[in-house]
Structures are given as structure tokens and as C-alpha cells.
Amino acid sequence: MTTFVALFRAINVGGHNRVAMAALKNMFEGLGLRGVSTYLQTGNVIFESAETAPLSLTEQLGKEFEQKFGFYADVIVRTSAELKEVVDKNPFLNHPEKETKWLVVMFLASCPTEQAKKELLSTYEGPEELFITTGDQSTNLYIYYTNGIGRSKLSNVFLEKKLKVQGTARNWNTITKLLEIAQA
């Protein structure tokens, strides 16, 4: 069995697209997935599956979610090994002046083209620092909010438009907690 983390996008945000985590957990268990647990109310689900392909699980979970809850929500699935790689490859960890409370990782649904990555990284002039990593099967965008997240004008919509791929973001504390749960 492989341990996975499913990251749903835009559920239980601002009172919209409300989903009880108990109902989400039941959906996963109804699909025969094991060891299901949720973290926070924003659609973070840790589970085990005999399936080894995250993309196959992404499609299955997306369809089932829409059937069960009546609306579509993007979901990105990563193995616990891929999540560990996100933590290990953090380009800001060797900089003690960088507080992790200002660090967010955007998990991308697919790998943007080299041209899209180059365009974003060469043309964005905000105070935030951006760094894209590509692993064996996943691509992630690390964002360090130099002046704090609440003051930033950088949005997920802007990033998705520039990269031409969808993604969902999590703060560093959430990522490390999800990894801790997945490895337990």
C-alpha cells in the first residue's frame, strides 16, 4: 500500500463550497481507500491505496467528489514520498532569515512548459521570491512572501494564468504536518 495526500482546491473557503471533513473521509472509505484521515477543514486527506499512480487517483477522486457533493473541486494527489521531496527540496530552508510562516508551496496539477516557467520567473517583479522544482512526477512552486502573505498582491489566479496549469497552495506548517501524519 502506498500512502498519498489529496489536496482539494477551494473547499470551505469564505463560506463557499462547504464540505464536512467527515463526509469527505466517508467518500474516500467508500472507494475502498484505507487509513483515511483529514487535516484541517480545507480538504487535506491522507490515505493509503494499492493504486500507485497519483494521476489515476486524481481522476477517480475528482469524479466521485462531484457526484457526492454536487460541485467540482480540483484535487491534486501526491505520494508521501513526493511530499517528503517537497520538504527536502525547499530552496529557502538554508536561509535562516527566511521565516517559514511566510512560505507557501503551490502544488501544480501538471508541469508547465519551459517557456511558461521562464516567462513567469523573468517577468514577475513583485517582492515575493518564486522557485519552481520538478521532481520525477510532480512540479511545485515555492513562494516566499517577503512582506507577508496578507500584504501580497500575488494571487493563485495570476500564477495559474502565467504557468497555464492549475494548482492548489498550502502553507509550510500545513505541509510539514501532512508529511508527519503521512509518515506515522
**Do 33 and 63 share a structural domain?**
yes
Final residue in a domain of this structure, among 45, 79, 113? 79
**Do 120 and 157 share a structural domain?**
yes
Model confidence at 163: pLDDT above 90: yes
CA of 49: how far to CAs of 76, 95, 113, 133, 147, in Å? 15, 37, 30, 26, 40
**Do 107 and 46 share a structural domain?**
no
Final residue in a domain of this structure, among 59, 79, 99? 79
Provide CB contacts within 8 A for 142, sequence distance 6+.
90, 91, 92, 103, 104, 105, 130, 131, 132, 133
Express as a percent the part of the chain with pLDDT over 90. 84
**Do 71 and 94 share a structural domain?**
no
> What range defines the domain where residue 95 resides?
83-183
**Cβ atoms of residues 163 and 112 within 8 Å:** yes
**Cβ atoms of residues 168 and 7 within 8 Å:** yes
Backbone angles phi, psi at 40, to 5 degrees: 60, -175
CATH number at residue 6: 3.30.70.1280
Looking at the structure of the chain, the number of domains it has is 2
**Do 89 and 51 share a structural domain?**
no
**Cβ atoms of residues 141 and 131 within 8 Å:** yes
pLDDT tens digits along 28-50:
999 999 999 999 999 999 999 99
**Do 66 and 19 share a structural domain?**
yes
| Residue-wise burial string across 61-83, b where 16 or more C-beta atoms lie within 10 A, e elsewhere | bbeebeeebeeebbbbbbbbebb
**Do 54 and 96 share a structural domain?**
no
If we measure between CA atoms, which residue out of 138, 134, 150, 182 comes closest to residue 38?
A: 182
Model confidence at 136: pLDDT above 80: no
**Do 120 and 66 share a structural domain?**
no
**Do 141 and 73 share a structural domain?**
no
**pTM attached to this predicted model:** 0.94
Instruction: For cell 512540479, name the residue.
Output: 139
Model confidence at 132: pLDDT above 90: yes
Final residue in a domain of this structure, among 79, 102, 132? 79
